Amino acid sequence: MIKKKIGPTYDLERQIGGIVCGVDEVGRGPWAGPVLTAAVILDPGNIPVGLNDSKKLSPKKREALYPIILETAQVGFGQASVAEIDHYNILQATLMAMTRAVENLAVKPDHALVDGNKLPKLHCPASFVIKGDSQSLSIAAASIIAKVKRDLLMKKLGEIYPEYGWDHNAGYGTSHHQKALSLVGPSRFHRLSFAPINKFISQGMTIRY
């Protein structure tokens, strides 16, 4: 028996009707860098082939889909800075970034499908979808766009502080990243409110500017 591959569909968007955007975030877990979000309104008559949860796609496939999504869909980006993450906490900062992504769409959506189990403050009706990037093509597209955009941003930040290896770990707490922190301490792009980074501050290490 051949098992059919299950992936995201456009069913939720069709059920809701009107202009529907998918919203997703990338970067809640890393120790450094902003959290980045994307809102995507797909053209139902021109949906790129191969959309899926960004975590299930290779970097090469994500990077190939990135310009295609930008070409065929309406896209809005949002982000919350490290300072906002430290001030408000990562959940609130993520919701703020999601609001910004939807507000940055050139076309106002009638409804937003948001990945996760919390809703940001929006000027349109919205529904959260748990594991939405595996269910909704619009959310899947947003996950790809946000992931590639953030990876590019972390590579640029990594040029300022190459010691941490952000070009390949995107700010996550890998062994390379941890070793660099123990040697040179945290930078201005690190999330000081996160326990692994706060530990170095409490040990007397100064922030690198």
Average pLDDT, the chain: 96
> What's the predicted TM-score (pTM) here?
0.94
Rounded to whole angstroms, the Cα distance separating 39 from 121 reads 14
Tell how strand 35-41 and strand 20-26 pair up: antiparallel
Over residues 157-205, the pLDDT tens digits come to 999 999 999 999 999 999 999 999 999 999 999 999 999 999 998 888 8
Over residues 49-79, the pLDDT tens digits come to 999 999 999 999 999 999 999 999 999 999 9
Tokens 């809640």, residue?
A: 28
Same domain, 184 and 88: no
Residue 1 lies in a domain: no
Same domain, 175 and 134: no
Contact 98, 78 (CB under 8 A): yes
Name the DSSP class of 41: E
Among the listed residues 74, 83, 99, the one whose alpha carbon sits nearest the alpha carbon of residue 32 = 83
**Domain range for residue 66?**
11-159
Tell how strand 35-41 and strand 74-80 pair up: antiparallel
Same domain, 32 and 125: yes
Over residues 79-105, the pLDDT tens digits come to 999 999 999 999 999 999 999 999 999
Same domain, 131 and 82: yes
Residue 74 lies in a domain: yes
CB-facing half-sphere around the CA of 101: CA atoms within 13 A: 35
